[in-house]
Amino acid sequence: MNAPSYLIGIDGGGTSTRVLLADVHSTILAQANGGPSALGLGVHAAWQEVTALCTAAFNQIGQPLNWTQCALGCGLAGVDNPGWRTQFIAQAPLCQALTVETDGYTTLLGAHSGQPGVIIALGTGSVGVALNAQGKRKIIGGYGFPSGDEASGAALGLRLAQHAQHALDARTARDAFAVAILSAIGADDRESMLTWLGNAKQTQYASLAPLVFAHANHSFAQTLLISAGDEIAKMIEALDPTGTLPVALCGGLATAFAPYVPISHSARLRPAQGNSAQGALRLALCKISTDFHFFK
C-alpha cells in the first residue's frame, strides 16, 4: 500500500452528513454538507451521500476524488448494528485506510480532543458516550427510533405527531401549537394524517422538533422539554456516577436542550472543543499513524 495523501472525516446522522477533507497533518482543505447517511436509512444510500459529498469536497480543491489516495474515518449513526456495519464496510470503495465508529464516539473524540470525558449527543437521535482515564469506553442509549433515542429530535417529533392526532380527534385543543404541527405535517384530516404517518421515518419526525422550542411556553411543550432535560441528566449520571469527568452536550439540539438540564447536572457542562467530523478525522489520523508509521 502507498501512504495516503488525504484524510477524510465523515459525520453521518439521520438528518445530515458533514465531510471534512484534510491533508495528512489534519490541516482542513475543504468541507461539504449534505443529507442523511444514517445506516438505518439504507447502507447503499449512505455510501451514495458520502461519495457525493467527498466528490464535492475534492472539487473545492480542484482535484478529482481518488479513493486510493484517501484514509477515511467515519462516525455514523447505526454503526452499532453489527449487520449494518458489516454491509457498510463490504460496500466501501478501495481506499488506503478505513475506520468506522459510531457518531457518538467520534463526537466524544471531537468534543474532548481525544481526552477523557462525557458527551450526550442530541440530534435526530440521541446517545451518551464516556471515555475514562484508563481508555475504557461506555455507551448508553442510542437504541434507535422509535423505541429509544430519548431527548432527541425524532422522539420530540413522535410526541408532536401524537399531539396533532389528538387535536384532529378533539381529544385536545386545536390551538396555535396544534395547528402549527398539523401545518408542518401537511395534515388537515384523518386521511392526510394517516398518509404522512405511513411514509414518515425518523428524519421526518425530527423535522417537527423545532416547533417544541418555538412554542416552549405551551404546557405540553414544557412537559416534553422538562422530561427531555431529566433524560439527559439520567444519561450523565449513568455514564459518570462519580461526577469527575467533563460533560459536553453536542449535536444540533444541544444548545436548545441545555436550559432544560436540571441544575444538579448543568453545572458540569463544558463547551465542546470540536465536532464529530473532527473526531472522525482524528480516527483517520490515528489509523495512518499506526499503519504507515507517520510522524514517528
Q: Once rounded to an integer, what is the mean pLDDT over residues 65-90?
A: 95
pLDDT at position 292: 58
**Alpha carbon distance 138, 126 (integer Å):** 15
**Burial of residue 242 (number of CB atoms within 10 Å: 0-12, 13-18, 19+):** exposed
CB atoms within 10 A of CB 77: 33
Running DSSP on this structure, what letter comes out for residue 269?
A: B
Cell numbers at residue 208, please? 417537527
Phi, psi of 76 (to 5 degrees): -130, 140
Place 139 in a pLDDT band, splitting at 50, 70 and 90.
Answer: very high
Q: In whole numbers, what is the pLDDT of the chain averaged over residues? A: 93
Per-residue pLDDT reduced to its tens digit, 184-220:
999 999 999 999 999 999 889 999 999 999 999 999 9
Q: Which residue has the higher pLDDT, 21 or 145?
A: 21
Please say if the pLDDT value at position 179 is more than 50. yes
Q: What is the mean pLDDT of residues 54-78?
A: 96
Query: What architecture does CATH give domain 6-113+274-291?
Result: 2-Layer Sandwich (3.30)
Helices (H), ranges, the chain: 43-60, 82-90, 103-111, 153-168, 176-185, 190-199, 202-206, 210-214, 219-239, 254-257, 263-266, 276-291
CATH class of 153-266: alpha beta
Would the CATH topology of 6-113+274-291 be identical to that of 153-266? yes
**What residues does each domain of the chain span?**
6-113+274-291, 153-266
Share of the chain above pLDDT 90, in %: 84
pLDDT, one tens digit per residue, over 27-38 is 999 999 999 999
Q: Would the pLDDT of 294 be above 70?
A: no
Mean pLDDT across 174-188: 97
CA 280/CA 17 separation, integer angstroms: 12
The Cα 233–Cα 106 span in angstroms is 21
For residue 295, name the pLDDT band (cuts at 50, 70, 90).
Answer: very low
Asked if residue 296 has pLDDT above 60, the reply is no
